[in-house]
Amino acid sequence: MKQGHGLPVFSGVAIGDAVVYRKSERNLPVSSGDPALEQNKFNAAVEIARQQLSALFEKAKVEIGEEQAAIIEVQMLMLDDLDYLDGVAMAIEGGAAAALAALDTGEEFAQVFAAMDDEYMKARSADIRDMSHRLYDILCGNTGFQLPEGSFLLVADDLAPSETIQLPRERILAFVTRQGSSSSHTAILARTLNIPSLVQADISLDIAEDCKVLAVDGFTGTWYADPDEETMAMLLKKQAEAAADREALEAFRGKESVTKSGKKILLCANIGSPEDAVSAVAADCEGVGLMRSEFLYLGRSNLPTEDELFEAYKQVAITMGERPVVIRTLDIGADKQVDYMGLDEEENPALGLRGLRICLTREEIFRPQLRAILRASAYGNLLVMFPMVASVWELKAAKALCAKLRKELEDEGVEVKDVPIGVMVETPAAAVLARELAKEAAFFSVGTNDLTQYTLAVDRQNAKLDKFYDPYHPALMALLAHIAKAANEAGIWAGICGELGADPKMTEKFIEMGYTELSMAAGRILGARKQVCESEL
Ligand code: PEP
Ligand code: MG
């Protein structure tokens, strides 16, 4: 048995097979020095890629439908593109290794496409990149990521949101990453999925790969490779106790979340997709306090269309029925990157073009999303909020666009319900300006993850800074109290949708401050309800 530690981000015990996710190693391949040989290698790789893509295309047709599968067909056509093939041949002739010629020529073409005006052509840049990376991997012998049949514990150096989105979530028993911070989006996903997880774990990928059984104790932050009999018995006992605790919380299912003195607190779920909405209802949520809508944009190679977005929001609205659903508009940027938007690399992405800033800069991206939300409003109880607001003018500009699009839809004869517009308060500027923003907003929802990052100037992605990332910092407490007071004085409601919303140590403090809504990973709702119902406040 081998064992070690990590930082637990969600409690519970998981035991099972370990699957190691290794990013393709991009060691620089060296040319054999013989251009003819390199060209032959490249030609052979094109044939292998063609077979892989054709198998993928058939699979995708069945799983996601012919229209979506067409993305793969586009890549197959690109394998025959004469300009691309000539570009590669020239690079090889100039002395490049076949793998690098494939990759670099692909990148050159991708950049040309990304700079085009036509949205369709722009979106093709990601397809070219995908295709050239595939050729590169074939030429370097990278075999990719094989998943076993049943459920498993996933071990990785780190995981980006664009990678987690592609995983079969229902089969993952735990995440164990060697890097990552407790407020990273992988940690947030683990909480959403209700699975024990560790970040900054001292496990080597080789140990994980070689062991027969991997176990994670999310209570203590310990991992065990091939646990001995005694450890296994201890883990199984803890697992059974955790199941019994969950069972005990069932007594609070269907109850109203009201304190002993009668304060009503709305306990909502944070979701990322229509499927999450189904789990949220099963977890007895009273609404959705944060739909991270950017997850509809990740793990794909082109912008979702207005109709695709509309279908997703409509599904969420219908699933939630009368319960409120707060949709946060696209919050791409920082750690959530999508190639096809052609955004520049930034030195400080967390302070860069992200959230509402992208939407106000690239109206062609914002417009379809807002139209889709407004159209879906007819099917339920939708609210919308904007991320990364720092100035009143930004809120006014986004509201003006909503009003324009509402009018446009009404003129088209489309039914649009009233959609209250709120602000996600997650920059210190928005917190300080809460009184001014409250005049323009229907509600506030505080994103404590980013508010902590920006108030304390601590990068939430940087694992080395975890001890400085203090969400209970007095500066934050002062801002949180100020935001709730400003909302109450203006007669609008305020909620919390960052990770702190699920923190049992904060529940009563938030109620005291005047917050009336808490939004969290669905699995935390019954526990929070117990706390609210037992509170004397
Ligand atoms: C936040 O910043 O607190 C938040 C809820 O949004 P995200 O974690 O997606 O940035
Ligand atoms: Mg945020």
Rounded distance between C-alpha atoms, residue 436 and residue 427, angstroms: 14
Predicted confidence (pLDDT) at residue 246 exceeds the cutoff of 80: yes
Output the residue whose Cα is nearest ligand 1's atom 6. Answer: 447
The least confident of 54-58, 139-143, 394-398 is: 139-143
The strand pair at 214-217 and 13-16 is best described as: antiparallel
The strand pair at 7-10 and 197-199 is best described as: antiparallel
Give the CA distances from residue 325 to residues 319, 354, 376, 442, in Å, rounded to whole numbers and listed in that order: 10, 23, 11, 14
Rounded distance between C-alpha atoms, residue 361 and residue 341, angstroms: 12
Average pLDDT over residues 143-165: 78
Predicted confidence (pLDDT) at residue 165 exceeds the cutoff of 90: no
Tell me, yes or no, if 497 is annotated catalytic. yes
Predicted confidence (pLDDT) at residue 237 exceeds the cutoff of 80: yes
CA 374 vs. chain centroid, Å, equals 23
Structure tokens at 494: 């305020």
Rounded distance between C-alpha atoms, residue 378 and residue 419, angstroms: 10
Q: How much helix, strand and coil, in percent to the nearest 5, is found in the chain?
A: 55, 15, 30
Average pLDDT over residues 149-174: 83
Structure tokens at 196: 């024990």
Predicted confidence (pLDDT) at residue 24 exceeds the cutoff of 50: yes
Q: Which of 152, 210, 148 is nearest to 176 (CA)?
A: 152
Predicted confidence (pLDDT) at residue 146 exceeds the cutoff of 80: no
Predicted confidence (pLDDT) at residue 403 exceeds the cutoff of 70: yes
pLDDT tens figures, 308-360: 999 999 999 999 999 999 999 999 987 787 878 888 888 899 999 999 999 99
Decide: 294 in ligand 1 pocket, CB within 6 A: no
**Helix or strand run (H / E) with residue 530:** helix 525-534
pTM: 0.77
Site to probe by mutation for ligand 1, drawn from 270, 295, 337, 450 as the one with most ligand atoms within 8 Å of Cβ, is 450
Site to probe by mutation for ligand 1, drawn from 337, 451, 452, 497 as the one with most ligand atoms within 8 Å of Cβ, is 497
Rounded distance between C-alpha atoms, residue 408 and residue 375, angstroms: 11
Tell me, yes or no, if 211 is annotated catalytic. no
Predicted confidence (pLDDT) at residue 26 exceeds the cutoff of 50: no
Query: 19 vs 161, which has greater pLDDT?
Result: 19
Q: Which of 357, 359, 361 is nearest to 371 (CA)?
A: 359
Rounded distance between C-alpha atoms, residue 428 and residue 253, angstroms: 36
Q: Which residues 6+ apart lie within 8 Å of 262 measured at CB?
A: none
Instruction: Annotate 422-488 with DSSP letters as a single string.
Output: EEEE-SHHHHHTHHHHHTT-SEEEE-HHHHHHHHHT--TT-GGGGGG--TT-HHHHHHHHHHHHHHH
Average pLDDT over residues 166-193: 84
Rounded distance between C-alpha atoms, residue 186 and residue 406, angstroms: 36
Q: With pLDDT > 90 as the criterion, what percentage of the chain qualifies?
A: 70
Predicted confidence (pLDDT) at residue 148 exceeds the cutoff of 80: no
Decide: 291 in ligand 1 pocket, CB within 6 A: no
User: Which atom of ligand 1 is nearest to 499's Cα?
Assistant: 3
Catalytic hit among 285, 359, 497, 533: 497
Predicted confidence (pLDDT) at residue 3 exceeds the cutoff of 90: yes
Rounded distance between C-alpha atoms, residue 519 and residue 493, angstroms: 13
pLDDT tens figures, 106-135: 888 888 887 887 777 777 777 788 788 888
Q: Which of 459, 373, 385 is nearest to 420 (CA)?
A: 385
Structure tokens at 442: 């229907």
Q: What is the mean pLDDT of the chain?
A: 91
CB of 505 within 8 A of CB of 477?
Answer: no
The strand pair at 443-446 and 421-425 is best described as: parallel
CB of 235 within 8 A of CB of 229?
Answer: no
Query: 104 vs 240, which has greater pLDDT?
Result: 240
The strand pair at 266-271 and 7-10 is best described as: unpaired
Phi then psi for residue 365, to 5 deg, are -90, -40
- Give 258-322 as a 3 state SS string: ECCCCCECEEEEEECCHHHHHHHHHCCCCCEEEEEHHHHCCCCCCCCCHHHHHHHHHHHHHHHCC
Quickly state the pLDDT bin for 298 (edges 50, 70, 90).
confident
Q: What's the gap in Å between 496 CA and the centre of ligand 2?
A: 11
Site to probe by mutation for ligand 1, drawn from 385, 424, 427, 444 as the one with most ligand atoms within 8 Å of Cβ, is 424
Average pLDDT over residues 39-47: 94
User: Which atom of ligand 1 is nearest to 334's Cα?
Assistant: 10
Q: What is the pLDDT of residue 223?
A: 98
Rounded distance between C-alpha atoms, residue 434 and residue 392, angstroms: 10
Q: What is the pLDDT of residue 144?
A: 57
Query: 385 vs 54, which has greater pLDDT?
Result: 385
Rounded distance between C-alpha atoms, residue 386 and residue 388, angstroms: 7
> Angle, nearest 10°, between helix axes 82-93 and 98-114?
130
Decide: 218 in ligand 1 pocket, CB within 6 A: no
Q: What is the pLDDT of residue 116?
A: 83
The least confident of 35-44, 118-127, 235-244, 343-352 is: 118-127
Q: What is the pLDDT of residue 28?
A: 60
Predicted confidence (pLDDT) at residue 62 exceeds the cutoff of 90: no
Query: 262 — alpha (psi -120 to 50), left (phi > 0) or beta?
Result: left
Rounded distance between C-alpha atoms, residue 447 and residue 422, angstroms: 12
Output the residue whose Cα is nearest ligand 1's atom 3. Answer: 447
pLDDT tens figures, 80-101: 999 999 999 999 998 888 998 9
Decide: 301 in ligand 1 pocket, CB within 6 A: no
What radius of gyration, in Å, describes the C-alpha atoms of the chain?
25
Q: Which of 252, 223, 359 is nearest to 297 (CA)?
A: 359
Average pLDDT over residues 54-65: 73
Predicted confidence (pLDDT) at residue 292 exceeds the cutoff of 50: yes
Among the bound ligands, name the one nearest to the CA of residue 445.
1
Query: 131 vs 274, which has greater pLDDT?
Result: 274
Rounded distance between C-alpha atoms, residue 500 and residue 23, angstroms: 31
Phi then psi for residue 297, to 5 deg, are -100, -15
Q: How many CB atoms lie within 10 A of CB 516?
A: 17
Rounded distance between C-alpha atoms, residue 328 and residue 447, angstroms: 11
Q: How many CB atoms lie within 10 A of CB 236?
A: 14
The least confident of 28-37, 364-373, 418-427 is: 28-37
Q: With pLDDT > 70 as the criterion, what percentage of the chain qualifies?
A: 96
Q: What's the gap in Å between 498 CA and the centre of ligand 1?
A: 5
Structure tokens at 496: 């919390």
DSSP-H helix ranges across 173-226: 185-193, 205-210
Q: What is the pLDDT of residue 108?
A: 86
Decide: 292 in ligand 1 pocket, CB within 6 A: yes
Average pLDDT over residues 508-528: 97
